[in-house]
Amino acid sequence: MHQPCKDPLERFVEQCRDHNLRVTPQRTAVYEELMSAANHPSAELVYHRVREKLRHISFDTVNRTLLKFAEISLIGTVEGSGEPRRFDPDTSRHDHVICSRCGRIVDLAPPAADDPPVPPEIRRRYLVTNRRVVFRGTCEACQADQEPQGRRTSARIR
């Protein structure tokens, strides 16, 4: 082998094998496109871009592929996106814990001190009005519940 650091494509093929997913031209194209994407694209956007390479690919394939990739944690999703809008009666500064399994959101008091600072370049270029820390994980109830479920790949953080 002559590649000391594993390139993304290799990681992709490896992950597919680990999860019994076949390596198809469509999946490869979607993966490559997403890896070169700068800004957290929607399925729609990935579809339009991939289409320049694989002119006959369907939207459904792109969407299913992205969902599948997220399921095996090859990629991530922006928390909240793709789910029905939810309202928050509390407009004061506070944090959230979201259960990735059941979707329940629990409020957290913000840290007594040491609120995460707005980075200087961001404060200069944005009119920042809101800040929140979002934790994702599996709640007690869902841990107890045995139902088979997607994304179980990720490891606990400290």
Partner DNA sequence: CTTACTGCAAACCATTTGCACGATC
Partner DNA sequence: GATCGTGCAAATGGTTTGCAGTAAG
Site for its own copies in 130-149 (CB under 8 A): 130-140, 143
Question: Residue 44, interface with DNA (CB under 7 A)?
Answer: yes
Contact positions with DNA (CB under 7 A) in 67-86: 67, 81-82, 84-85
Classify 34 as helix, strand or coil. helix
Question: Residue 111, interface with its own copies (CB under 8 A)?
Answer: yes
DSSP secondary structure letter of residue 156 = P
CA 60 to each of CA 25, 44, 115, 149, 151: distance values in angstroms, whole numbers, following the listed order: 15, 10, 42, 22, 21
Closest CA to 142 of 93, 102, 95, 83: 102
Question: Residue 113, interface with its own copies (CB under 8 A)?
Answer: no
Question: Residue 26, interface with DNA (CB under 7 A)?
Answer: yes
Q: Which does 64 bind (CB under 5 to 8 A by kind): DNA, its own copies, none?
A: DNA
Question: Residue 89, interface with DNA (CB under 7 A)?
Answer: no
Give me the residues paired with residue 105 across strands.
98
